Amino acid sequence: MRHISKQGLDLICRFEGFSPVIYICPAGYPTIGYGHLITAANKERFLDGVDEDEALELLRSDVGKAERAVLRLIAVPLTQGQFDALVSFTFNLGSGALQRSTLRRKVNREEHDDVPAELMKWVWAGGRKLKGLVKRRKAESLFYRT
C-alpha cells in the first residue's frame, strides 16, 4: 500500500498542531493530539491527555484511513506530492468530503491544473472562512504541483 511521505506527515502536523489535552476544533468537534477526532463511536477517553508519542501513534492510524480512502477514490496515477496533498485534505475533512467533491472528479479526469482552485473551495468551518484553512489549502496546492 502507498503511504504519505515524511514531508506530507509534517504538513499535517504543522497545520493540526499538537495538543496534549482535549480541545474543541474550529468545526466544533472534540479533538486531541495532532487532530485526532474523538467520537462516541470510538469510545476513547483521554482523561490524562496524550504525550507526543501517543499523539503520533493516533496520527499514523488516522492518516492510514485517509491513505486508504485516497487509494479507493482516486483512479489515476499520482505523484507523491499529489498523493500527500490529497491525504492531508482527506485527513482534515474526511473521506466523504473527497468522495462527493468536484475535486475528486477533476483529479480522476486528470485535470490537474484545476485542482488548486478546487482545494481553495474547502476553507470553511462552522460557517466561517478560516485563515488557517486558507493557508493549509495553499500549502496542499503547492504539494499537489510537485
CA 38 to chain centre: 15
Q: Is residue 131 situated within a structural domain?
A: yes
Per-residue pLDDT, 19 = 98
Residue 145 C-alpha cell reads as 504541483
> Is the pLDDT confidence value at 57 over 80?
yes
Residue 73 lies in a domain: yes
Q: Is 67 a catalytic residue?
A: no
CB 130 within 8 A of CB 137: no
pLDDT in the model for residue 26: 83
Q: Could you confirm whether 16 is annotated as catalytic?
A: yes
Is residue 70 a part of any domain in this protein?
A: yes
Residue at 55 is within a domain: yes
pLDDT at site 55: 97
Catalytic residue among 16, 67, 118, 140: 16
Of 13, 25, 44, 54, catalytic:
25
What's the structural domain count of the chain?
A: 1
Range of the domain at 75: 6-144
In this structure, what CATH number is given to the domain that contains residue 127? 1.10.530.40
What are the grid coordinates assigned to 142, written together? 503547492
Residue with cell 482545494: 119
pLDDT in tens, 2-50: 999 999 999 999 999 999 999 998 888 899 999 999 988 878 889 899 9
Q: Is 1 a domain residue?
A: no
Question: pLDDT at residue 62 above 80?
Answer: yes
